Structure 1
Amino acid sequence: MAARKVVITCAVTGSIHTPTMSPYLPVTPDEIAEQAIAAAEAGAAILHLHARDPADGRPSPDADVFMQFLPRIRQATDAVVNITTGGSSAMTLDERLAAPLRAEPEMCSLNMGSMNFGLFPLVDRYPEWKHAWEPRLLENTRDTIFKNTFKDIEGILERLGKGCGARFEFECYDVGHLYTLAHFRDRGLVQGPLFIQFVLGVLGGIGPDPENLIHMKGIADRLFGADYQFSVLGAGRHQMPLVTLSAILGGHVRVGLEDSLTLGRSGLARSNAEQVTKIRGILEALSLEVATPADARAMLALKGGDRVAF
């Protein structure tokens, strides 16, 4: 019997962590490209990408910045490129969609509901900051809604899905988000195979408890049957335990410096590739096979890397 294939997604930089928190967080287009390529070489089949202002590392929706690293990644690797539509809670929807609409990638992330997205507890962890924007951005999440309304989601499905042929990593931060996804499936606005990312451990979403992961999988099984694949994102120190549990339960895994800055108890991860290498070793120890980009494209019915606009 062939080993089951597990897709590793690597979320390279995100918009949560800031330069003060780790010297290894990629900020410039060069750093993002280099770390993304190394993560793919280490075994990541999907690269989930955000951009940052090269001058000070703040999250950026600027499509011109994305286009400084997207072509390099495509030229150097066959990995599936997955561009955020979430950006950050401080961005407007039009800002969040600028880069994916220009790049027309194979995949985009799509958050399945509006929510509180609390990063403000991080402010107290650091006595000094490299940039004044860092504590301001974090503190502002105390009184900010991460807006993803039904209308927002409908528009993204129409413009990026129907319009650009992109498929989606549906990010579900709570059980209700699964029912929202089922609503869009029932209306015929999304079709399987669905790729659902269970997101655990963000303040405002479901907690990082193994029981919550098992519960979310049970609900998804009932709602979507055999017509979905799932992956797991565990925030911070919960990353490796929860993604390992995902693999054991039949799912895929997501790592990367967007989700956690550490390599478990051994301290800060020095690169995204280190996290990919670690989870790859865990998967292989579980007698699981790491999926290639071609495997991921077949599992998720993607349009192919030759049909993007970068």
Structure 2
Amino acid sequence: MAARKVVITCAVTGSIHTPTMSDHLPITPTEIAEAAIGAAEAGAAILHLHARDPETGRPSPDPDLFMEFLPRIKQSCDAVLNITTGGGHNMSVDQRLEAALRAAPEMCSLNMGSMNFGIFGAAAKFDAWKHDWERPYLESTRDFIFRNTFADIERILKDLGQGHGTRFEFECYDVGHIYTLAHFLERGLVEPPLFAQFIFGILGGIGPDPDNLLHMKRTADRLLGDAYAFSVLGAGRHQMPLATMGAILGGNVRVGLEDSLTIGSGQLARSNAEQVTKIRGIVEALGLEVATPAEARAALALKGGDRVAF
């Protein structure tokens, strides 16, 4: 019997961590491109991408910044490029969609609901900051709701999905998000194979308990049946343990400096590639195989890198 293929997603920089937290966090387009290419070379089939202001490191929706690294990554590796539609805190839906609509990528992330998204706890861990925006940015999440209403989701599915042939990494931060995904499946607004990313450990979402992963999978199995594949994202120190559990349960895995800055207890990861290499070793030690980009495209019915706009 052939070994099961596990898709590794690497989320390269994100919009949660700030430059003070790690000198290894990619900021400039060149750093993002090099980090993404390194992650692909280490075994990531999907690269999940955000942009940042190269001067301040603040998350940015500017499509011109995305276009500084997307073509370079595409030219250097065959990985699937997955562009955020979550953006960063206090970006409008229009801003969050601008880069994806220009790039028409194979895949985008899509948060399956509005939620409290609390990262203010990180502000207490540092006394000095590289940039003035960092502490207020974190503290503002005490009074922040990430918005993705049913109408917002419908718009994204129409404009990106129908309009550009983009498929989605459906980000499920709680059990209710799986029900929302099932709702859109029932309405025919999404089509199998669905790629559900189960996310654990964000304050405001479901906690990083192993029982919660089992509950999320059982719920998705009941509601989505054979219409979906899942992947597991554990925030912070929960990254590797929950990803390992996800692989054992038949899922795929996500790592990267967007989700965790460490490679072990109290030890900063030096690169995204280092995290990919570690989870790849775990996956292979379990007797599983890491999917190539071509295998990921086939499994997730993606349109192919020759049909993007970059």
TM range (shorter): over 0.9
Match in the other structure for 1:162: 162
Give TM-score, length-normalised by structure 1: 0.99
1:56 aligns with 2:56: yes
Using the TM superposition, give the Cα deviation of residue 266 of structure 1 relative to its aligned residue in structure 2, in angstroms. 6.0
Counterpart in the other structure of 1:79 = 79
**Whole-angstrom distance in 2 between the partners of 1:89 and 1:22:** 20
Say yes or no: does 1:174 pair with 2:174. yes
| Aligned mates of 1:80, 1:137 — CA distance in 2 | 30
The answer to whether the aligner puts 1:14 opposite 2:14 as a matched pair is yes
- The answer as to 2:128 corresponding to 1:142 is no
Query: Unpaired runs of 5+ in structure 2?
Result: none
Superposed CA deviations along residues 209-252 of structure 1, whole A, max 9, x for unmatched, are: 00000000000000111110000000000000000000000000
1:245 counterpart letter in structure 2:
M
**Structure 2 residue identity aligned to 1:27:** I
Q: Is the 8 A contact 1:201 1:208 kept in 2?
A: yes
- Offset at 1:90? 1.3
Q: Report the AA paired with residue 131 of structure 1.
A: H
Q: Bigger shift: 116-125 or 261-270? A: 261-270
Give the secondary-structure state (helix, strand or coil) at the position aligned to 1:48.
strand
Deviation string 1:255-276 (CA, Å, 9 cap, x unpaired) is 0000000002260000000000
Residue number in structure 1 paired with 2:132: 132
Distance 1:88 1:29 in 2: 17
**Where does residue 232 of structure 1 map in the other structure?**
232
Pair 1:261 & 2:256 matched: no
TM-score, normalised on structure 2? 0.99
Give deviations 1:35-56, integer Å, cap 9, x for gaps. 0000000000000000000011
DSSP-derived class of the 2:2 partner: coil
Is 1:116 aligned to residue 106 of structure 2?
no
**Residue in 2 that maps onto 1:273:** 273
Q: What is the percentage of aligned positions where both structures have the same residue?
A: 75
Task: Tell me the SS of whatever aligns to 2:226.
Answer: coil
Deviation at 1:89, TM superposition (A): 2.6
Give me the whole-angstrom Cα distance separating, in 2, the residues matched to 1:69 and 1:63. Answer: 10
Aligned residues: 310
Matched, 1:102 2:102: yes
Q: Which runs of 4+ in 1 moved over 2 A?
A: none
Q: Which amino acid aligns with 2:63?
A: A
Cα distance, 1:197 vs structure 2 = 0.1
Q: How far apart, CA to CA, are the structure 1 residues paired with 2:35 and 2:69?
A: 11
Supply the AA of the counterpart residue of 1:300: L
- Which secondary structure does the structure 2 equivalent of 1:171 belong to? strand
What is the Cα deviation at residue 281 of structure 1?
0.4
Name the SS of the counterpart of 1:298 in structure 2. helix
Per-residue CA deviation, residues 44-99 of structure 1 (Å, 9 max, x unaligned), is 00000000000110000000000000000000000000000000131000000000
> Aligned ranges for residues 184-199 of structure 1 at < 5 Å?
184-199=184-199
Counterpart of 1:85 in structure 2: which amino acid? T
Describe how 1:213-224 pairs up with structure 2 within 5 A: 213-224=213-224
Give SS of 2:268's match: coil
Q: Which amino acid aligns with 1:55?
A: E
Question: Any stretches of 5+ residues in structure 1 without a counterpart?
Answer: none
Structure 2 counterpart SS, 1:81: strand
